[in-house]
Structure 1
Amino acid sequence: MVETLELSHSIVMVTTDMPGGSNGRGSGVVVSPEYVATNCHVLANSNGANIAKFRDGYQPIALKAHWRRDICLLKFDPLPFKPIPMRDSTTLKYEEEVFSLSFPAAAPVPQPSYGNIKGIHRYDGGLIVRSNASFSMGSSGGALFDQDFNLIGLTTFKSPGHRAFYYSLPVEWIKELMASPEITSLKTQEMPFWALPMAQRPYFMQVVIPYQNEEWQTLKVIASQWIAEEPGSADAWYFLGLAEEGLQQLELAKRDLRKAYVLNQRDLDAMLALSRVAFAQKDLPALESLQLPVSALDKEQGAQITLKIQQLKNGS
């Protein structure tokens, strides 16, 4: 599409000179005439960095960094690229369609990936965006866009495992960093928040591996701790209900998944879990009540619920 091609002109490859003579690569986004935003872990402890676009290279003249948040800004003499408009993460909604652009595996041109917003998690004054628009090595510092081509996040890290979760950092952190002082060194001992020991990571990260491994009791403990800290988090209630579903505690699962849905009526995953519980309990009215809201967000999943309703009506 023409718009995606135009956007790709503002996505750059970031290259670094690493100790020992090797090179590192990542992605970056032009967010002003002078600044390219990227992830600090792309740059950290390198001997130097530059950006490349259309076989031309550009050397930064300064750096701004928030190592723990993993947001860095490379400053240049005004660049010949159009800055990307930014949309605050507070305006985002679950299941919005999104797409990413970045340089995975050192691709010669930015590569797109498509998906939906699956989670919006409060952390350190911002909202970390989880989507199912996949990305891989080299995509760090790439762009996550909404359907109006606004930048809504920097593609940064993903969970391990076969059902990976993909996370992007909020544009608010980019804006805050623009107002911070410049620094002179790429050397740091600080680790990004997402690479800390597991117990020090935010709860939205701690739940992932128990979920992937179907360690339901462990998941229930972590989700309960999350709720104690953030009782208004729909995601915390969702993972608690998911754990209870896995433990066959269906009445508890129904109660807590319902709380997730009440807190966030665009929580498709919570609705789908509720539909599984309703089907297992042969609760036809509950299943019928979910058919329309699920279909409004995902027609294929809505069709699956229609089939389940028909099965219950047929007594199968």
Structure 2
Amino acid sequence: MKRWILLALMCVYAPSLLAWPSVAETIPLGYSVVIVSTDLPDGSTGRGSGVVVSKEYVATNCHVIANTNGANVAKFRDGYKPIAIKANWRRDLCLLKFDSLPLTPIPMRDSSTLNYEEEVFSLGFPAGSPVPQPSYGNVKGKYAFDGGLIVRTNATFAMGSSGGGLFDEKFNLIGITTFKSPGHRGFFYCLPVEWIKELMDSPDILGLKTNEVPFWALPPEQRPFFMQVVTPFQNEEWATLKTIATKWVAEEPNSPDAWYFLGVAEEGIGEIPQAKIALQKATQINNHDLDAFVA
């Protein structure tokens, strides 16, 4: 029976390659996704990505520009120097402010409206690429954190793509590509656009110096539960995973992912009846959670 359920779900949720845009179809986004270049204290240069979210602002990750000697935006061989920035160092979200940019702002869609398994693609400038490179995938998780929803995707991104965009099939910006978990089977995370809208109302600052650490770079025990579960999950350390997931369920009983990881841990330990209950709870909360259905 489980085999038939799995096959049915795969038919329903299987990614449609026709729904993902080709590289050529993403060309119009080239007017909205930019290179963020920085001058580093040692005299070298750094580089990340950014997304034009208004005629005044380019969104990027703070870790791209933090503690550098300066930053600018490059597009089509033209450079633009910001007049100020807005920063939430702990969230790792910064806005570069300009008088007026001759670039195209991208429409934004709140992460709260996204569905699990929805088709998405990331766009940024990995590994020194002179043109933005797309990577295709799906929404794999949404995690409540600091008043927003962190989005997990399997649309990969690499060094240089920090500050780039995650887009839906209608080319709406749905997240800022920010960090991944360690290892070759990394989980990829994006900041919510709701945070961009909040940051627009914050005061301008002129300096790039900070001692604050992004939430995702804190010591492991201080990171959110959705990050703490990844390493024991990938290493099949089921007892450790169960301990973390149990705490997560207690703190966020309406999180389908908390129940999913608890169920996976219990299944790994051999606690099959308890695992079934946890996985059923995950699918009851979110009937788009393909991972919970097939676990």
Q: Same fold (TM over 0.5)?
A: yes
Instruction: Find the counterpart in structure 2 of residue 68 from structure 1.
Output: 90
CA distance in 2, matches of 1:3, 1:171: 23
CA distance in 2, matches of 1:229, 1:236: 9
Determine which of 148, 151, 154 is the counterpart of 1:132.
Answer: 154
Instruction: Find the counterpart in structure 1 of residue 252 from structure 2.
Output: 230
CA distance in 2, matches of 1:207, 1:61: 41
Deviation at 1:3, TM superposition (A): 3.9
Greater relative contact order: 1 or 2 (C-alpha under 8 angstroms, separation 6 or more)?
Answer: 2
Matched, 1:20 2:36: no
1:136-157 per-position Cα deviation (integer Å, ceiling 9, x unaligned)? 0001000000011100000000
CA distance in 2, matches of 1:120, 1:100: 16
> What RMSD, in angstroms, separates the aligned Cα atoms of the two structures?
0.7
* Local SS of the residue matching 1:269: helix
Deviation at 1:77, TM superposition (A): 2.0
Deviation at 1:50, TM superposition (A): 0.4
* Local SS of the residue matching 1:262: helix
Instruction: Find the counterpart in structure 1 of residue 141 from structure 2.
Output: 119
State whether residues 14 and 27 of structure 1, in contact with CA within 8 Å, keep that contact through their aligned partners in structure 2.
yes
CA distance in 1, matches of 2:256, 2:73: 40
Instruction: Find the counterpart in structure 2 of residue 37 from structure 1.
Output: 59
Q: Greater CA radius of gyration, 1 or 2?
A: 1
Paired residue type of 1:215: E
Deviation at 1:248, TM superposition (A): 1.6
Paired residue type of 2:268: G
Deviation at 1:241, TM superposition (A): 0.3
Instruction: Find the counterpart in structure 2 of residue 10 from structure 1.
Output: 32
Instruction: Find the counterpart in structure 2 of residue 271 from structure 1.
Output: 293
Instruction: Find the counterpart in structure 2 of residue 218 from structure 1.
Output: 240
CA distance in 2, matches of 1:80, 1:248: 59
TM-score by length of 2: 0.91
Paired residue type of 2:58: V
More displaced stretch, 112-121 vs 244-253: 244-253
CA distance in 1, matches of 2:86, 2:230: 31
Instruction: Find the counterpart in structure 2 of residue 149 from structure 1.
Output: 171
Matched, 1:55 2:77: yes
Deviation at 1:162, TM superposition (A): 2.1
Q: Which sections of structure 2, spanning at least 5 residues, go unmatched?
A: 1-21
1:36-64 per-position Cα deviation (integer Å, ceiling 9, x unaligned)? 00000000000000011111111111110
- The alignment-based identity, stated in percent, is 71
Paired residues, number: 273
Deviation at 1:161, TM superposition (A): 1.2
Q: Which runs of 4+ in 1 moved over 6 A?
A: none
Q: Which sections of structure 1, spanning at least 5 residues, go unmatched?
A: 274-316
Matched, 1:82 2:78: no
* Local SS of the residue matching 1:205: helix
Instruction: Find the counterpart in structure 1 of residue 12 from structure 2.
Output: none
More helix by share: 1
